[in-house]
Amino acid sequence: MNDIYRDPGTLEVLLSAEQIQARVAELGTEISEHYQGQELYVVGILKGAFVFAADLLRQLRIPCQVHFIEASSYGQGKESSGVVTMRHKLEVQGKHVLLVEDIYDTGNTLLQVMNDLQQQQPASLEACALLNKDIPEKQNISLKFQGFEIPPRFVVGYGLDYAEYYRELPCIACLD
């Protein structure tokens, strides 16, 4: 075994799988009500949001498409590098776009993805993050939907990684 991976059973659980599933179901209802009568264009931000996006999608009760873009600001470390790299070929003009993100930390990622997509003039552009990390210095983003506010800890699981590990955990656990 490598030096990075620790037995997940030894990690402090911040949010259990049951807590996450219950909140994701509520978010699905909130989002479906908000977009009632409209078609939704869901955009998941890879890789971290792939688990959340898959679960959230199955709680929606409106017509929707799902697409993904790749964006990353962390590299291999535990601190956001601030430099966001992004890759996509989305065409969102006139669409109701909902960005789905694993965590709103500094907000650099969401800000840059939103600025980029806004240039195409979508009908509306909102963001949904499962986690909102309580740190003092954040980009000011109007997050329409959020799962949980969490303390400023480095967390893994439910799609979130440390050096690509731990994405498979059904809970959110602290790694610091």
Which residues lie near ligand XMP (CB under 6 A)? 45, 48, 73-74, 80, 101-109, 154-156, 160-162
For the chain, the distance separating the N- and C-terminal CA atoms, rounded to the nearest angstrom, is: 20
Residue 156 binding result from Mg ion, ligand XMP, none, given CB thresholds of 5 to 8 Å by partner type: ligand XMP
Give CA–CA dist 108/35, Å, rounded.
Answer: 26
SS3 (DSSP) at 169: coil
Nearer residue to ligand XMP within complex by CB, 35 or 127: 127
**Closest C-alpha to 88, from 53, 42, 39, 43:** 43
Residue 52 binding result from Mg ion, ligand XMP, none, given CB thresholds of 5 to 8 Å by partner type: none
Nearer residue to Mg ion within complex by CB, 32 or 73: 73
Count residues near Mg ion (CB under 5 A).
2
Q: Least CB distance from residue 62 to Mg ion, whole Å? A: 28
Which range, of 6-14, 24-32, 61-69, 70-78, touches Mg ion by CB under 5 A? 70-78
Nearer residue to Mg ion within complex by CB, 35 or 74: 74
Selecting among 7, 105, 134, 161, the annotated active-site residue is 105
Residue 154 binding result from Mg ion, ligand XMP, none, given CB thresholds of 5 to 8 Å by partner type: ligand XMP
Position 157 contacts Mg ion (CB under 5 A): no
Position 48 contacts Mg ion (CB under 5 A): yes
Give CA–CA dist 49/163, Å, rounded.
Answer: 15
Provide DSSP, 139-166: -----SEEEEEE-S--EEBTTB-BTTBS
Place of tokens 């009908």: 123
Active-site annotation holds for 105: yes
3-state secondary structure 92-143: CCCCEEEEEEEEECCCHHHHHHHHHHHCCCCCEEEEEEEEEECCCCCCCCCC
Residue 155 binding result from Mg ion, ligand XMP, none, given CB thresholds of 5 to 8 Å by partner type: ligand XMP
Q: Which chain residues interact with Mg ion by CB under 5 A?
A: 48, 74
